[in-house]
Amino acid sequence: MRKILMATAASLVALAGAANAQPAKEVAAPGTIVVHLNGYLQFSVNAYGNSGYNDGTNYAMSTSSYKLSPIGEIGDVRLYPGFDAQTANGIWYGAQVELRTTTSYAGKGVNGNSANGYGAGNLYVRRAYGYIGTPDYGFIRFGQTDSAFDLLQRGVIEAFGDGAQWVADGGASNVFVAGGPATFIYADQGALYTSNKIVLISPAVEEPVLGGKFDAIVGYEPNSNGIKEGYAVDNSSLGANASSISGGSNARRRNTVDAMLDYGVKLDGFNTKASVGYLAGSPLGNLTGAQAYAPLGVFQAGLQTTYMGLTVGANLKAGHVEDGYAFDPKGGRPALGYSVGAAYALGPISVGTSFFDEQSSGAWTPGSTYARTLSQYGIAAGANYALAKPISVFVQGMYYHRHQPTPTTRGNAQGELVSLGTTIKW
């Protein structure tokens, strides 16, 4: 009979999406199941400001109809139920789920009082996937999960402050009006990992010259539905297998494939990792809608190295893509973005900083009055102190700027904040 272990405090779950890169958690012995109920709670107090215009939206701290407080509190709770197991003949398998709290109207104070979907439920599924395989032969993931572009993203440094910076859900940047800048330079975002897909994770293959290891990941996503989507669309006959949708969309995808090749080596105290890959997908729409957008085609390359607690890295992405991994309009400029960052850990103290800069079509469409290029950049810096392994406090500063003018507006928007918070993991 299998021995079932309840491990509610095992394997602390990190904040960023890239933390889901491991294909499995090792189980001690064949015939064993380890059940997890990990999670985290994060809370922060933020002093911030917004100004300017972006995409026709006023980002000022006050308008004729409302005024925004310069002090905002925000937080998040997540649960990670799941299990990892091993059969008697050595095959690993398991399932993992990520549950998050929903949003609610400001000033309501509870999560379940809204009729239009904002706060209509207390928890929702963000990730839900199973896996099967072995370290020697590789793994298959299936479900609502991260794929190659996220799992092998190298050089994007987020392990400081609130742990997510510009792709936070419930993090400090969400206090910005409209949530701050959307980006494509960060692949660890819900636009990519909240859809149903099959992911093949190769075993590590050692090369004999430097003793490094190669591995690869390939993912296939038939469409951008989640694990139980397609039942509640306006026209239910479209369903989960829909190959077209009236009106077109610049966010819904079909036949998306991503692949990444990764190399890691340890030499003279340096732990270095480099990756390169490509993501491609087609717009989901009727003939008129789909023809308005260019297919997704994004190249990614990243490099990072760690030495004596210091990690530095850089990442580059380029191709036909918009923020949030939406499709850009045909005739739009190809996107280009990069990120550089560093983090240093010494005992209970860690510090870090990152900078991103990217250009894309933004709000431009054929015939519009917007300039052809949206330019945006952002910088974040933070420090953490671990009071104990499950609990830490952090301070974080952030600044961003966006620019895409029209004949009547300068098209500038910017925001800055200072955040003080705490994170508890279990």
> Where residue 171 falls among pLDDT bands split at 50, 70, 90?
confident
DSSP string covering 243-302: S--TT--SS-EEEEEEEEEEEEEEETTEEEEEEEEEEEEEE-S-HHHHTTBPPEEEEEEE
More confident residue, 11 or 376: 376
Looking up residue 247, the CATH number of its domain turns out to be 2.40.160.10
Mean model confidence pLDDT for the chain: 84
Q: What pLDDT shows up at residue 111?
A: 53
Mean pLDDT confidence for 76-98:
94
More confident residue, 233 or 141: 141
Tokens of 386: 């671990």
Domain count, the chain: 1
Sequence-ordered list of residues with C-beta below 8 angstroms from that of 349, at least 6 positions apart, any chain? 383, 384, 385, 386
Confidence check: pLDDT of 1 > 70 = no
Q: Identify the DSSP state of 67.
A: B
Confidence check: pLDDT of 168 > 70 = yes
State the residue range of the domain holding 118: 3-425
Query: pLDDT of 299-327, one tens digit each?
Result: 999 999 999 999 999 999 999 999 999 99
Q: Percent of the chain at pLDDT above 70?
A: 80
Sequence-ordered list of residues with C-beta below 8 angstroms from that of 128, at least 6 positions apart, any chain? 95, 96, 97, 98, 143, 144, 145, 227
Burial status of residue 109 (CB atoms within 10 A of its CB: 0-12, 13-18, 19 or more): exposed
